Chains A and B, each alone.
Chain A
Amino acid sequence: DAGVIQSPRHEVTEMGQEVTLRCKPISGHDYLFWYRQTMMRGLELLIYFNNNVPIDDSGMPEDRFSAKMPNASFSTLKIQPSEPRDSAVYFCASSLDNNQPQHFGDGTRLSIL
């Protein structure tokens, strides 16, 4: 079975540019999560969706960050404009419901110069 698929795996861009990260969850999973992982702060939840609807975006750091889930098989996390402090690994995860284990993609390593 295909797991959670994220793209790109690596992204290097200059500050001020728009960055779009993509995620395809596991088919049939109703929940989708976006996390950010850094050495300083560990793994932090940014936002999560249930049945394509954003439920909690309290972890989104600033208005520069936005996330969408136009359908059950695709989600994007956008940063505009990007800043060097946004450099981190961004993970997408999905689960059958909110009390079930989460399945993570292999992340996007983002570097903002």
Chain B
Amino acid sequence: SQKIEQNSEALNIQEGKTATLTCNYTNYSPAYLQWYRQDPGRGPVFLLLIRENEKEKRKERLKVTFDTTLKQSLFHITASQPADSATYLCARMDSSYKLIFGSGTRLLVRP
């Protein structure tokens, strides 16, 4: 079965630093990966989608990479701010065309 794994430990960083979150997957590489942000008491909000033929994608202070050799995606937030504190989820499509989410990594940005 296709699995997607994220570091369950919270990432605690200082404001202004770059946050890097990791998403690892098993079995075949998905055609794309998606990243979502979830705040407490709210639903996930889509951030970025990266396709397997794209090595890197950027959106403002966000950057996502996709390494099909390592079976890994990295999600970076540069110049992090306390408002970036949230849980970040990655997701992949499985062979049944259903989106499977990782358990999420909680990011805490200290002022």
Residues of A participating in the B interface, judged by any CB pair closer than 8 Å: 4, 33, 42-43, 45, 48, 56, 58-59, 91, 93, 98-99, 101-107
Q: Which residues of A contact B99 (CB under 8 A)?
A: 33, 45, 102
Q: What is the minimal beta-carbon distance from A5 to any residue of chain B, in angstroms?
A: 11
Partner among A59, A101, A106 whose Cβ is within 8 Å of the Cβ of B34: A101
Q: Does B103 contact A (CB under 8 A)?
A: yes
Contacts of B44 in A (CB 8 A): 43, 91, 102, 104
Contact A98 B97 (CB under 8 A): yes
Residue B45 CB within 8 A of the other chain: yes
Whole-angstrom distance between the alpha carbons of A75 and B89 in the complex? Answer: 25
User: With A42-B102, A42-B103, A42-B104 known to touch, is A105 a contact of B97 (CB < 8 Å)?
Assistant: no
Q: B73 → chain A, closest Cβ, in Å?
A: 15
Residue of A nearest to B97 (CB): A98
- Are the CB atoms of A101 and B43 closer together than 8 Å? no
B62 interface contact, C-beta 8 A: no
Chain A residues contacting B45 (CB-CB under 8 Å) are 104
A56 and B98 in contact (CB under 8 A), knowing A43-B89, A101-B49? yes
Distance in angstroms from A18 CB to nearest chain B CB is 24
Measured in the bound complex, the distance between the Cα atoms of B98 and A48 in whole Å is 9
Query: What range describes how many residues of B lie at the interface?
Result: 20 to 34
Footprint of A on B, CB under 8 Å? 31-32, 34, 41-46, 49, 89, 93, 96-104
- B43 contacts which of A45, A56, A98, A106 (Cβ < 8 Å)? A106
| 20 more CB-based (< 8 A) A-B contacts, given A102-B99, A107-B42 | A4-B43, A42-B101, A42-B102, A43-B44, A43-B89, A43-B101, A45-B98, A56-B98, A58-B96, A59-B98, A91-B43, A98-B97, A99-B31, A99-B93, A101-B34, A101-B49, A102-B46, A105-B43, A107-B41, A107-B43
Determine if A106 and B41 form an interchain contact, defined as CB atoms under 8 angstroms apart: yes
CA distance A42 to B3 in the complex (A): 13
Can you spell out 29 A-B residue pairs with CB atoms less than 8 angstroms apart?
A33-B99, A42-B101, A42-B102, A42-B103, A42-B104, A43-B101, A43-B104, A45-B99, A45-B100, A48-B98, A56-B96, A56-B98, A58-B96, A59-B98, A91-B43, A91-B44, A101-B34, A101-B46, A101-B49, A102-B44, A102-B46, A102-B99, A104-B44, A105-B43, A106-B41, A106-B42, A106-B43, A107-B42, A107-B43
